[in-house]
Copies of this chain bind each other. A is one copy, B any other.
């Protein structure tokens, strides 16, 4: 049997693309040992954190190694199993990366229940992005009814959940995206009344004025993007405000290696006794089931909405990863094999 793989060959300096990968195909054995499972990838994830791992000088773990399969979350079906826990045809989640097939130990697989929700949600609202949004907002953000909550990349996989969770907590929500279409979706589909398209503003000063017209101050800023949008928001933080650093996507295409400059802002935190806290999905991995118990019924009942941007074709993976940085996705970006 042939296994097709995207091998990560070369660190990008700016945008990532197909030139940093090589598509190869090789035989995969199907003689399984006890507790091994052969899976076939059906849906493969692309996520912004992948670009952090590609930066040479990020202080986050070691950089993703070259010359091996690009790591990623995958929704797959079981082709063959030597584990009592999995049968042929089962749907599973695995961190098996950008390859069409993989032999995994049963302990590395999570069984998915297609009756609970569409299996692709394991990469989005009921997976890592959902966990990030739920615990990032509730634990680090501590939202209260009446709070003003500003969310950047508000139509993204995490942001589109944060705006809804914040609204469910009784907050006034302001969503920031880079497109009028996304803002229309936020308002018409998710019921987010206040949105700003940062591309319609001439930098931080101009954007700050528009934000000031919408609110007297920001209690929670859930930041997925960083850069000048964040420069505009931090000085508007309220007393004891909470700034959650979930992503800095504006900085990933080069800025981690050749760092951008920003106005110094720590004095604002002093005046307002505000807190900035970095969060990662892994901080809450031991509480994933808790998130599922809360969020899965919200999906089933329609209280919480989600969307996916589905790109067709395994060969599109590097391009789909790049699309995260050019703002081409609404909701969770997934590649269907």
Separation in Å of the A106 CB from the closest CB of chain B? Answer: 31
Cβ contacts A259-287/B at 8 Å (1 or 0 each): 11111101111111111111110010000
Of B235, B267, B268, B280, the residue contacting A270 (CB under 8 A) is: B280
Q: Which residues of B contact A248 (CB under 8 A)?
A: 264, 266-267, 270
Copies of this chain per assembly: 2
Closest to A270 in B: B278
Most chain-B CB neighbours within 10 Å: which of A226, A263, A269, A280? A269
Separation in Å of the A108 CB from the closest CB of chain B? Answer: 25
A280-B273 contact, Cβ under 8 Å, with A59-B235, A266-B230, A266-B248: yes
Question: Number of residues in A with C-beta < 8 Å to the partner?
Answer: 39
Contact, CB under 8 Å: A60 / B275: no
Closest to A263 in B: B259
Interface residues of A in 72-107 (CB under 8 A from B): none
Contact, CB under 8 Å: B255 / A264: yes
Of B256, B266, B280, the residue contacting A226 (CB under 8 A) is: B266
Cβ contacts A228-264/B at 8 Å (1 or 0 each): 0010000100000000011110010001100111111
Q: Which residues of B contact A52 (CB under 8 A)?
A: 267, 271
Separation in Å of the A211 CB from the closest CB of chain B? Answer: 14
Contact, CB under 8 Å: A264 / B260: yes
Judged by a CB distance under 8 angstroms, whether A223 is at the interface is yes
Most chain-B CB neighbours within 10 Å: which of A52, A270, A283? A270
Q: Which residues of B contact A61 (CB under 8 A)?
A: 271
CA distance A303 to B263 in the complex (A): 41
Judged by a CB distance under 8 angstroms, whether A116 is at the interface is no
Contact, CB under 8 Å: A264 / B270: no
Judged by a CB distance under 8 angstroms, whether A58 is at the interface is yes
Most chain-B CB neighbours within 10 Å: which of A227, A260, A268? A268
A264-B269 contact, Cβ under 8 Å, with A274-B278, A275-B276, A278-B274: no
Of B245, B260, B268, the residue contacting A59 (CB under 8 A) is: B268
CA distance A140 to B277 in the complex (A): 13
Separation in Å of the A243 CB from the closest CB of chain B? Answer: 8
Closest to A276 in B: B276
CA distance A223 to B266 in the complex (A): 10
CA distance A59 to B280 in the complex (A): 30
Contact, CB under 8 Å: B262 / A226: no
CA distance A232 to B48 in the complex (A): 26
CA distance A227 to B279 in the complex (A): 25
User: Given contacts A248-B270, A272-B278, could you give 8 more A-B pairs where the C-beta distance is less than 8 Å?
Assistant: A52-B267, A226-B267, A246-B270, A247-B270, A251-B264, A256-B267, A273-B279, A276-B277
22 pairs across A/B with beta carbons < 8 Å? Answer: A52-B267, A58-B267, A58-B271, A59-B268, A226-B264, A226-B266, A226-B267, A245-B267, A246-B270, A247-B270, A248-B267, A262-B262, A262-B264, A266-B276, A269-B278, A270-B279, A270-B280, A271-B280, A273-B277, A274-B277, A275-B275, A276-B277
